[in-house]
Amino acid sequence: YINFETPFIKTKDMMLFIFYVKAYVKENIF
């Protein structure tokens, strides 16, 4: 069973997660 939507959802979630972490780090360190 292969779900073709899952990789795209995971990629989108990872991009949002990385963007959130970068913004969080920028606000707290700088």
Going from N- to C-terminal start, the domains of the chain cover 1-29
Give one word for 2, left, alpha or beta, with left for phi > 0 and alpha for psi -120 to 50.
beta
Predicted local distance difference test score (pLDDT) of residue 3? 60
This prediction has a pTM of 0.48
Burial 1-30 (b: 16+ CB within 10 A, else e): eeeeeeeeeeeeeeeeeeeeeeeeeeeeee
| Amino acid at the residue 26 | K
Predicted local distance difference test score (pLDDT) of residue 11? 79
| Amino acid at the residue 8 | F
d(CA 23, CA 12): 17
What digits encode the pLDDT tens for the residues 6-25? 666 677 888 888 898 888 88
